[in-house]
Structure 1
Amino acid sequence: MSSFTSVIVDCDSTNWGMLISKYPETNVLEDIFSAVIALSGGAKLANKKFLEVETDKTALDFAKSLEIFLRKKLEENVNYEEPASSQYSGAISLSICAFNKYSKQYPNSSGSIIIINLAQNLSNEHSTLMNLFFAAKHSSLVVNSVSLNGNVPILQQASDITGGTNVVLDNIKKLAQTILSECLIVSKTSLFSHPQQDIDYRAVCHCHNKLLSIGWIVTPNLLSQNLNVGKNYSLNNPGYSNAANLVFLLYATQTSIELVKSWLRKLDDRCQCSVHLFFIPEKTYTLTERLKDDKSVWDKICTIKSLPVNWFPSEQSSLISMDLPQLPPQLFINGDWNFLFQCAKALKQLVDQFNRLPNFYSKGKWSLRILEIMKKQIESTPKKALDSTKNEFRNISDVVLIDRWIDPLTPMLRQSTFGGVCDELFGIDSRGIIKIPAEESSDDKPDKSKKEEFEEIQLNDQVYEQLQDLSVGGVALKLREIVDELKGEELQRKSLDSVAQYKNFIAKLPNVVVKRKSTGIFMRLAGVVQQRESDDFYRGLLRCEQEIMRNPQHDKIHPFIENSLIEMREINSILRLIILQSLISNGLKSSVLQTYTKLIVQVNEFFEIFLR
């Protein structure tokens, strides 16, 4: 029986530089390929190269030619501006395609992929690699990996999925021996046995390169391969489906119900699929009755159930949310106390993950009520035994609940820190990203004929962590300190005169490059923020806030608010000032409120306004 082996080597110049600085006397590449051909006297070089390579027509020395080729590629890929991202996905795709072609020519052949990895971070390819590893398993390809720079979880997962071997080496001199004994033979007959390790299938956060204990992200391809999910649809775009089952994941809102009705009405009568509705976090009697009102829709539904998912993670490691946009209006305006029960259930779901019951503190009547409901739930249900999976929330000792209504004033004031001003001006989303107009961050003159473009800036960054709590005026001084640090490191590089010093510098180089790039980005962002703050309207907002705070008057119309409404300025900022004046003054005089209302309705063409 013939066999197929593809060797994929990490060719990042920075990683190889760090490796060679540790082991300058080791012929790494020659050892790799000597090991590959040692067990097969009939090894052949692929006739069709995956990359464009100039080859000689004369007899080819297999190991030496590949060594020369890899050295050439390493030299070509040297990049001093920013660290190179991993590019395994393309190589693995080509390997799978080559094996499929090979297996057609040689039926019943076996295949394997050997990955020689030096990278520590493969998060930029995480989703793509997972799909490829399942594709490799489908093609009966075994993925073996040897990591020379610490354990990489996704390569560990690849070996587990495909039945291969994952080895982490702390001594490169053992590389050839490891390839011979672990990667070139069936793992079950391995000459050396490694202790069984628990495979960590948590996803990697793209921002922090850390494993996530919550919020695993499943791609459509993984759903298709593991759960037979044929296709994903949007509620806003109904489509024809010939699948046996159609599953809807819905928020428990009236809007979701109307979208489902519209979707099912447009569903082709030829479709004989079973329709299943799952409400997050739970279904309600009212929504179920609304579905029953439309018989043509109700007859198509087979299942209506609850999916008790209460917490949703964000890409910011310190933030999770119940993501209930309908909670404030339902609780404040409609007085729907069922949401307090839902909050109590969500809190209990979180507390059940703790090793022990924490101390609870509350401020406000709603927080107190939530704790009372939750404690009754804890008393009525036995505590389940926790599994052995590590959880970063297990060691929490105190939980504090605060009613938002305890302090309604603070959200009305404009923030003064750099991070707060960025949120006020541009809006920081759940991923920690802001979007600024490209014309503001560029020195080029804006082209009005083109569609407005935006630049995304990622705030989950080591430089931003030093800037976010500073005042806007103090950001420039801090950035100057960071620039001086970078200049000092550059001068230090020029004075290096030993291998050990170069080794330490190379180890710090990727972080220095990222820091230099981030500093440039936030210098531009600070300039945009200062430009926005110098606007007359923005400065007027700050002055108006200060005047209202110093001298609250419930019976007088503030001139700035009146003029801003007449000039049709940004309405949300003006409404915040009106609310601030009302809160500070303990209510507005009826004549003042009526004047503000008339201006808002007349100028902004609001036909209805609700003030509570």
Structure 2
Amino acid sequence: MSNYLTSSRVNISLLQEGAAKDLIYLLDKCDGPKVIILDEGLTRPIGLIATYSLLREHDVKEVFILNDGKLSNFREKVKNVIFITRPYLTHMDMICDNIHKENQDDLKQREYHLFFVPTRSLLCEKRLERKGVLGNFVLIEEFRCFLFPLENDLISMEMNDCYKELSLENDPTCLYRVAQAIVSLEDLYGRIGRVTGKGPVVKQVWELVSKICLEPRKANSKANRNYKTIDHLVLIDRSVDLMTPMATQLTFEGLIDELFGIDCCTVELPADKFVSEEDNVNTLARKKIVLNSNDEIFAETRNKHFNAVLMNLSKRAKHITSEYDENRSGKTVQEMKQLVSRLPYMLALKKQLSTYTTVAGLIKELTDKTSFRDLINVQQELILGIESDKVLPQIEDLISNKFDLITVLRLICMQSAVNSGLKQKTLEYYKREIIQVYGFKHLITMTHLENAGLIKIQANSRSYAVCRRLLNLDVYEMSEVDPDDINYVYGIYAPLSVRLIQHISKSDSKILSDVLPLLPGPIVEHVNSDVDQAPNNSFLVDSQKVVLVFFIGGCTFAEISALRFLSSLEDSTIEYVIATTNITNGNSFIKSLLIPEINNSLNK
């Protein structure tokens, strides 16, 4: 169990413990030494629930990544080969290739097992059968882990293609998984008192939840569903607010994700930046940094505006140095004992401080560039609606200079969002210029963005402008160091999604009655009156209400920081817990909608 997962009213460590127990139960069904062949996309999520040392305790000798070709040569002789994978046909083809290329002796001596995450797929099993491999498996099981614990207030399904599957492929499978995830949370934490949702898919999700709840429950259901730990579930369809992911996040954690990419709480940075010049380190080597609230320094800075982070790190460094010097000057035996007892803690803080000061320095190198500052200025002008209803010369210049295409597309998507669409002439001009400069293949790119709703032709109604005014989305005057509103996470822009959640949580009917009809999709409202307060919370008469926000289609770190900010306010009566299909940013969101060939060419 990870200690940092326990400090919330909703004890996320229960989710981690339950998932680990389920995985170990499956592994123990395969008696004897074993190796795991793991779908690469599950490597870090599985690492969040089961450490390698825990796996070793259950006779796992090695873990390999699933790839085409012959299985790796195992260092130790093993009886069991266990494939753990999501139900994707491409992964089935890899598994078939692995088994077909095994020699006859190995096939006779080994037992092969397949664990699907989170559920079995008839389509996948048919593929295995058609390729003559299905009969090789002794066990085919489900590892029903729908949510992975990232923080004490944050859980993710790690389904990065959810929005693409819904908007481009018309595949609703992920909605059933979301519904299963919600039911699994109710099994663990009790019935949810109230449900509110907004967006094209939320009605379908809640209908699926209701349907699953009517199915026979497992005998070993983990919780008494007649009490509640979670007071209110708010379902937010990403398509309700496509503006927010396109804007550049300005929090510390948000910028780390924007500039370097965070994958399941881990960022990889150049290793040579974290050592002294005398150390001989390969400049191509990467240092992995785990980002969670286990690190006190990161917990303090992650949700701050980046301009406040360097100041905070400097203050902390002075405080640690001062405390160390003061303790070292102590003369009595008792004072020396206190110093010795605190020394490991202070050294750990010092190491954390060094790490995050370096990370902040790497960010500053990039954010100090004129190109980055110009980009933020263009975004802020779009947010404020300054002459944004025409072809923007700044976007023209970026295209003519063949600037990074994803950055250009983010700006065009932002322009479409703030104007409730683009004029036909403006859109045709952008298309023509992009195809001419970046290549004809990007006609597909533009078509995908249109089909996904990120770019559209302007309608008569200007709903975004009305929402901006009613929800007070652009707050020009604000303090980056000591903010009093959520707009600091994007500079001057308060995320529409979080403003909406803020008003839903407070049941602000006047604002909601004006705003909700302007946003896409139906409204869901449901109350479970037959649930009681959780036994361990029954004495908390005036305690904060727990609101679980579930983003369907992904959310950003800046939105997470904004919700944490609302929870932290002195007069707050609400504690937010966040669940999401995945964590995204403008770059990863757009890339998820592109065809693989184009993505590969952009990554070169």
> In the alignment, is the contact (CA less than 8 A) between 1:554 and 1:588 conserved in 2?
no
The CA distance in 1 between the partners of 2:213 and 2:433, in whole Å, is: 52
**Percent sequence identity over matched residues?**
25
The CA distance in 2 between the partners of 1:481 and 1:231, in whole Å, is: 44
In the alignment, residue 159 of structure 2 is paired with which amino acid?
Answer: L
Residue equivalent to 1:284 = 121
Shift of 1:535: 0.8
Residue equivalent to 2:254 = 420
The CA distance in 2 between the partners of 1:562 and 1:570, in whole Å, is: 13
Residue equivalent to 2:10 = none
Which digits, 9 at most, give the CA deviation of each residue in 1:226-268, with x for residues without a partner? xxx6765543152389976654322111221221232233233
Instruction: In structure 1, list runs of 5 or more residues that go unmatched.
Output: 1-137, 139-211
> In the alignment, is the contact (CA less than 8 A) between 2:270 and 2:283 conserved in 1?
no
Q: Please, which of 251, 263, 267 is the counterpart of residue 434 of structure 1?
A: 267
> In the alignment, is the contact (CA less than 8 A) between 1:439 and 1:445 conserved in 2?
no
In the alignment, residue 121 of structure 2 is paired with which amino acid?
Answer: T
Shift of 1:457: 4.0
Residue equivalent to 2:284 = 452
The CA distance in 2 between the partners of 1:535 and 1:576, in whole Å, is: 19
The CA distance in 2 between the partners of 1:425 and 1:473, in whole Å, is: 16
Which digits, 9 at most, give the CA deviation of each residue in 1:157-201, with x for residues without a partner? xxxxxxxxxxxxxxxxxxxxxxxxxxxxxxxxxxxxxxxxxxxxx
> In the alignment, is the contact (CA less than 8 A) between 2:271 and 2:283 conserved in 1?
no
Which digits, 9 at most, give the CA deviation of each residue in 1:291-316, with x for residues without a partner? 4443x4456456655443322334x4
> In the alignment, is the contact (CA less than 8 A) between 2:296 and 2:349 conserved in 1?
yes
The CA distance in 2 between the partners of 1:409 and 1:445, in whole Å, is: 46
The CA distance in 2 between the partners of 1:454 and 1:337, in whole Å, is: 38
Which digits, 9 at most, give the CA deviation of each residue in 1:511-548, with x for residues without a partner? 22222232233333333322211112111211111222
Residue equivalent to 2:308 = 474
Residue equivalent to 1:611 = 449
> In the alignment, is the contact (CA less than 8 A) between 2:273 and 2:358 conserved in 1?
no
TM-score (norm 2): 0.56
> In the alignment, is the contact (CA less than 8 A) between 1:552 and 1:581 conserved in 2?
no
> In the alignment, is the contact (CA less than 8 A) between 2:119 and 2:143 conserved in 1?
yes
Q: Please, which of 234, 240, 260 is the counterpart of residue 400 of structure 1?
A: 234
Q: For residues 221 and 463 of structure 1, do their structure 2 counterparts lie closer, same or farther at Cα, with a shift above 3 Å needed?
A: closer
Q: For residues 394 and 256 of structure 1, do their structure 2 counterparts lie closer, same or farther at Cα, with a shift above 3 Å needed?
A: farther
Residue equivalent to 1:588 = 422
Secondary structure of the corresponding residue to residue 334 of structure 2:
helix
Residue equivalent to 2:173 = 338
Shift of 1:411: 0.8
> In the alignment, is the contact (CA less than 8 A) between 1:279 and 1:307 conserved in 2?
yes
Secondary structure of the corresponding residue to residue 399 of structure 1:
strand
Secondary structure of the corresponding residue to residue 145 of structure 2:
coil
Secondary structure of the corresponding residue to residue 49 of structure 2:
coil
In the alignment, residue 316 of structure 2 is paired with which amino acid?
Answer: I
In the alignment, residue 533 of structure 1 is paired with which amino acid?
Answer: T
> In the alignment, is the contact (CA less than 8 A) between 1:276 and 1:303 conserved in 2?
yes
In the alignment, residue 51 of structure 2 is paired with which amino acid?
Answer: I
Q: Please, which of 121, 128, 149 is the counterpart of residue 313 of structure 1?
A: 149
Shift of 1:481: 2.3
Matches within 5 A, 1:161-310: 215-219=49-53, 222=56, 225=59, 232-236=63-67, 237-239=69-71, 246-270=81-105, 271-272=107-108, 275-294=112-131, 296-298=132-134, 300=136, 304-310=140-146
The CA distance in 1 between the partners of 2:62 and 2:367, in whole Å, is: 48
Which digits, 9 at most, give the CA deviation of each residue in 1:458-489, with x for residues without a partner? 44321222222322222233233223322431
Matches within 5 A, 1:49-88: none
Matches within 5 A, 1:101-120: none
> In the alignment, is the contact (CA less than 8 A) between 2:70 and 2:101 conserved in 1?
yes
Higher relative contact order (CA 8 A, sep 6+): 2
Residue equivalent to 1:377 = 212
The CA distance in 1 between the partners of 2:402 and 2:299, in whole Å, is: 37
- Is 1:574 aligned with 2:408? yes
The CA distance in 2 between the partners of 1:234 and 1:383, in whole Å, is: 33
Q: For residues 291 and 597 of structure 1, do their structure 2 counterparts lie closer, same or farther at Cα, with a shift above 3 Å needed?
A: farther
The CA distance in 2 between the partners of 1:342 and 1:541, in whole Å, is: 37
Q: Please, which of 159, 164, 183 is the counterpart of residue 329 of structure 1?
A: 164
Secondary structure of the corresponding residue to residue 331 of structure 1:
helix
> In the alignment, is the contact (CA less than 8 A) between 2:189 and 2:223 conserved in 1?
no
> In the alignment, is the contact (CA less than 8 A) between 1:352 and 1:383 conserved in 2?
no
TM-score (norm 1): 0.56
In the alignment of these two chains, the number of paired residues is: 392
In the alignment, residue 313 of structure 1 is paired with which amino acid?
Answer: P
Shift of 1:413: 0.7
The CA distance in 1 between the partners of 2:112 and 2:429, in whole Å, is: 53
The CA distance in 1 between the partners of 2:61 and 2:341, in whole Å, is: 46
In the alignment, residue 476 of structure 1 is paired with which amino acid?
Answer: L
The CA distance in 2 between the partners of 1:332 and 1:444, in whole Å, is: 49
Shift of 1:439: 5.9
Residue equivalent to 2:298 = 464
Q: For residues 514 and 564 of structure 1, do their structure 2 counterparts lie closer, same or farther at Cα, with a shift above 3 Å needed?
A: same
Q: For residues 374 and 439 of structure 1, do their structure 2 counterparts lie closer, same or farther at Cα, with a shift above 3 Å needed?
A: same
Q: For residues 306 and 584 of structure 1, do their structure 2 counterparts lie closer, same or farther at Cα, with a shift above 3 Å needed?
A: same
Q: Please, which of 542, 546, 549 is the counterpart of residue 380 of structure 2?
A: 546
Secondary structure of the corresponding residue to residue 262 of structure 2:
coil
Residue equivalent to 1:181 = none
Instruction: In structure 2, list runs of 5 or more residues that go unmatched.
Output: 1-31, 33-45, 451-604
Structure showing greater Rg: 1
Shift of 1:587: 1.9
The CA distance in 2 between the partners of 1:528 and 1:582, in whole Å, is: 32
The CA distance in 2 between the partners of 1:441 and 1:261, in whole Å, is: 42
Which digits, 9 at most, give the CA deviation of each residue in 1:424-463, with x for residues without a partner? 12222323x333335666785999x975344444443212
The CA distance in 2 between the partners of 1:551 and 1:438, in whole Å, is: 42
> In the alignment, is the contact (CA less than 8 A) between 1:220 and 1:232 conserved in 2?
no
Which digits, 9 at most, give the CA deviation of each residue in 1:50-98, with x for residues without a partner? xxxxxxxxxxxxxxxxxxxxxxxxxxxxxxxxxxxxxxxxxxxxxxxxx
Shift of 1:398: 3.7
- Is 1:362 aligned with 2:200? no
Residue equivalent to 1:102 = none
In the alignment, residue 235 of structure 1 is paired with which amino acid?
Answer: L
The CA distance in 2 between the partners of 1:352 and 1:440, in whole Å, is: 46
> In the alignment, is the contact (CA less than 8 A) between 1:493 and 1:505 conserved in 2?
yes
Secondary structure of the corresponding residue to residue 611 of structure 1:
helix
Q: For residues 288 and 606 of structure 1, do their structure 2 counterparts lie closer, same or farther at Cα, with a shift above 3 Å needed?
A: farther
The CA distance in 1 between the partners of 2:176 and 2:435, in whole Å, is: 38
